[in-house]
Chain A
Amino acid sequence: MATVRLAPVLRPSIGGSKQVNAQGSNLSEVLSDLYSRYPALKEQIQPEESLSRFINVYVNDQDVRFLQGLETQVGPNDTVILLPAMAGGR
């Protein structure tokens, strides 16, 4: 199972943990598995068909926008990172 790590703002929707495991051989399947268990997460990052433009998804350290997007292959030892923009500086 792939590991999914979430940025702090997204953690409340999966019950507060920093990372979870998810099933799937590509990104779309991995995310679907997560959404089935945590519907609130879908609302936050993928309310429509495609991924929201304010959220960056990395497989290992690579941005999936420059791989195959939702079709990007995800192996059992891969780490998916969900990272929305942060602005705090004060």
Chain B
Amino acid sequence: MGEASREIMRQARRQVPEWTTPKVNEALAKQHEAGREKQEIVLVDVREKHEWNEGHIPGALHVPRGYLELQVEEAVPDKEKTVVLYCAGGVRSLMAGTTLQQMGYKNVISMTGGFGAWKGNGFPFVQPRTMSEAQAKRYSRHLLVPEVGEAGQFKLLDSRVLLIGAGGLGSPAGYYLAAAGVGTIGIIDADVVDESNLQRQILHNTKRIGQYKAESARETIEALNPDVKVITYIERLDETNVAHIIADYDVIVDGTDNFPTRYLLNDAALKANKPVVHGSVFRFEGQLTVFKPYEGPCYRCLYPEPPPMALAPSCAEAGVLGVLPGIIGLLQATETIKLLLGIGDPLVGRLMTYDALVGEFNELRLFRDPNCAACGENAHLENLPTYADVCAL
């Protein structure tokens, strides 16, 4: 340190009061006890981003000294508040203090010894989670959206979504959820890829004909996004495995092709309190809704019983326009992301229908049935009927 800089320091010290780390710790603890309404002290970390990333005091705001004049008024609009500044060793915070005083802040304090002394005294600190450079690039368009941002992207990376079926609906839903960075995707499907699947099941391809769909889906997803962990279950969902499998997931995307599985899943999801994003398709039409246990209706509120065979258009022979499950599956992915991030209005209690030929979306209101056998007032989840697979593929 040269003579001129020592002189600046001396000046700053005369101007800016200093608190020791125990004093800051005590003041913060008192403020914590007083509750949210009495937040008189604002803690500001003026170090560089890489220093902040290695650890900081919980609850501190981060305004690097290089951006201090530009950003501090946004971070701390009330100039009457006590602003406690800290850096690594207590020098930069002192000089930052003189700047804040020039800007009109009335009570500026510098913490002596900085973060080094804080840590040395064994006071608590947090290490913020940081995104790798590759992740910051991959998810940059999410990071730009305030409703997602870095915190939302971490939420997605920590999320676990189960796809029931890697077919027409599961393919687009799974593909986009993987692109969005949903960290764990479970796929349950016992079938193998058939040539007739490829008109719509975009997770698979010609080379994979004969491979298990769950494995084929894993290959496609892992090639798209290495952040995603894929867990495969090469089995059919039934009474023996459903509770165990869904227990590990936050949201379930239902893309099954038959009524027995839909009822089985509904009852198990109610028991485990897991939201199910429901989609179904037939020829040119699709349906979509979100079953959120006990907040909205369940599948049995909507359809207390499955239709007879003649009215059950769930068999492969019914046919479907290849792009249609793409639309409905992507709407399921969208609803899933909304649920995971807790944003927007999920399609709870609303059934969206899409008619591709007319080019029209419609919405029907759904209600919880107080007499529902699965989620009503006198429901017994143990005694619900199960159904034989009327058109197993």
Contact = CB atoms under 8 A, between A and B. Distances in A.
Interface residues of A, number: 26
Contact of B259 (A52, A83, A85): A85
A81 B364 CA distance: 9
Nearest to B196: A90
Interface in A4-40: 7-10, 18
Contacts of B284: 8
B305 A89 contact: no
A46 interface: no
Contacts of B363: 61
A88 B315 CA distance: 7
B365 A86 contact: no
Q: What is the size category of the interface that chain B forms with chain A?
A: 35 or more
Interface string B346-360: 000000010000100
B334 to A, nearest CB: 17
Contacts of B256: 87, 89
A17 B170 CA distance: 31
Contacts of A9: 282, 311, 313
Interface in B140-178: 165, 167-170
Interface of B: 165, 167-170, 197, 201, 254-259, 262, 279-285, 287, 302-308, 310-314, 316, 318, 320, 325, 353, 358, 362-367, 369, 393
22 contacts: A8-B283, A44-B311, A56-B364, A61-B363, A65-B367, A65-B369, A81-B364, A85-B302, A85-B306, A86-B280, A86-B281, A87-B259, A87-B312, A88-B168, A88-B257, A88-B282, A88-B314, A89-B165, A89-B280, A89-B281, A90-B255, A90-B320
Interface of A: 7-10, 18, 44, 52-56, 58, 61-63, 65-66, 81, 83-90
